[in-house]
A = this chain, B = another copy of it.
Amino acid sequence: MTIKKIAKLAGVSIGTVDRVIHSRGRVSSETKKKVNEIIKKYKYKPNFFASSLSLSKSYTFGVLMPVTSQDSGYWAMPEKGIQNAYNELSIYNIHIKYFYFNKHDETSFKKAWKEMLASKINGIIIAPVFSSITKYYLISEMNINIPIVFFDSYIPEIKNIAFIGQDSYQSGILSAKLMKMLINEKEEIAVIRVVPDDYHINQRSNGFQHFFKNQNGYKVKLYDIFNGDNSEEFKLITRKVIEENKNLAGIFVTNASTHYIAKNIKAVTDKKISLIGYDLIQKNIYYLKEGIIDFLISQRPEHQGYQSVYALYRSIVLKKKLQKELMMPIDIITKENINYYIE
């Protein structure tokens, strides 16, 4: 079925059919009805190629995310996924414009945000690590009527925006379960919460603690770190944690900084301390293979980036409805299966 054939069947010109299809008015309700009936009857689907060719539109998606070096290089992973999606979609005239910010500097975020809004973009992808500012911006400037996708973290108060990422709370619960398998009863556990004002990180810690609250005989103690890129802080806290807990059997780190702890454990004690953390960055993988880190939880960052771009593509180019949530599986990574998660 083509527009031409529909026109012939309806006894009108293709211009009229086009006007009906796109609701551009200037068609009598009679003709409109007739055309719509034929469209329905023959299940007409516009030819995507012809349409795209004719429109020869190009779309630009804005990506607002931390510079890739931060969080131990974590952000390079979603960026890679974004790039992969771009490589696949560039034939459809899709472009990506990156707006990086320093996640330890609010003003750089604000600047990136302004720059992004000032440039002509058709869709937005945000890693809302600055939850409160992002929230404020999105609520105050709600005149932005282009699709927005959150990845990595999200902001519970903001509705009607798609989220692609992981259920952090549940990942904390799962980590706790794994921890329980690794240690014996009555032993002590430390949670190292990195950047506690990030909603996402907080949820991981909450989930972990919640699991052990329902288990008898375990002591879980919480420690905070405010800059996940400062190795010195980790050195100090590792020492502190081990000294303060004589029966320490396990440490749970709430983000990619796990390797800092892994590195310092050896220096402080010879005892085996079970270690569970997040994210498949190089250094974490190293310590996982070495046996210092027992489990890593992965949130498929590459896939998150990839899917974020695709979500906008589907919504904007293919004009499909934007899916509200896309939850990434909570991947459990060990020495044995790590190789199937990298490269």
- In the complex, whether A215 has a CB less than 8 A from a CB of chain B is no
Q: Measured between alpha carbons, how far is A56 from B50 in the docked complex, in Å?
A: 10
A81 to chain B, nearest CB (A): 15
Choose among B47, B182, B330 the residue that contacts A337 (Cβ–Cβ < 8 A): B330
- In the complex, whether A39 has a CB less than 8 A from a CB of chain B is no
Chain B residue nearest to A342 (CB atoms) is B329
Report the copy number of this chain in the oligomer.
2
Contacts of A330 in B (CB 8 A): 336-337, 340
Contacts of A329 in B (CB 8 A): 331, 337, 340-341
Q: Lowest 4 CB-CB distances: which A-B pairs, in order? A: A49-B53, A330-B337, A174-B336, A332-B332
A315 to chain B, nearest CB (A): 14
Chain A residues bordering chain B, tally (CB within 8 A): 32
Q: Measured between alpha carbons, how far is A166 from B329 in the docked complex, in Å?
A: 17
Q: Measured between alpha carbons, how far is A65 from B211 in the docked complex, in Å?
A: 42
Pair A170/B53 contact, Cβ less than 8 Å = no
Chain B residue nearest to A330 (CB atoms) is B337
Pair A170/B339 contact, Cβ less than 8 Å = yes
Contacts of A327 in B (CB 8 A): 340
Chain B residue nearest to A340 (CB atoms) is B329
- In the complex, whether A293 has a CB less than 8 A from a CB of chain B is no
Chain B residue nearest to A174 (CB atoms) is B336
| A-to-B contact residues, CB < 8 Å | 45, 47-50, 52-53, 56, 91-92, 166-167, 170-171, 173-174, 177, 181-182, 318, 327-332, 334, 336-337, 339-341
Pair A337/B174 contact, Cβ less than 8 Å = yes
Contacts of A170 in B (CB 8 A): 336-337, 339-340
Q: Measured between alpha carbons, how far is A334 from B180 in the docked complex, in Å?
A: 14
Q: Measured between alpha carbons, how far is A173 from B340 in the docked complex, in Å?
A: 13
Pair A318/B181 contact, Cβ less than 8 Å = no
Pair A340/B53 contact, Cβ less than 8 Å = no
Known: A48-B92, A173-B336, A327-B340. 5 other contacts (CB 8 A): A48-B91, A49-B53, A170-B336, A330-B337, A332-B334
Q: Measured between alpha carbons, how far is A50 from B49 in the docked complex, in Å?
A: 7
27 contacts between A and B (CB under 8 A): A45-B91, A47-B53, A48-B92, A49-B50, A49-B52, A49-B56, A49-B92, A50-B53, A53-B53, A167-B340, A170-B336, A170-B337, A170-B340, A171-B337, A174-B337, A177-B334, A177-B336, A181-B181, A181-B182, A329-B340, A329-B341, A330-B337, A330-B340, A331-B331, A331-B332, A332-B334, A332-B337
Contacts of A167 in B (CB 8 A): 340
Contacts of A339 in B (CB 8 A): 170
* A47-B53, A53-B53 known; A91-B174 Cβ under 8 A: no
A297 to chain B, nearest CB (A): 9
Contacts of A45 in B (CB 8 A): 91
Pair B91/A318 contact, Cβ less than 8 Å = yes
Q: Measured between alpha carbons, how far is A318 from B87 in the docked complex, in Å?
A: 12
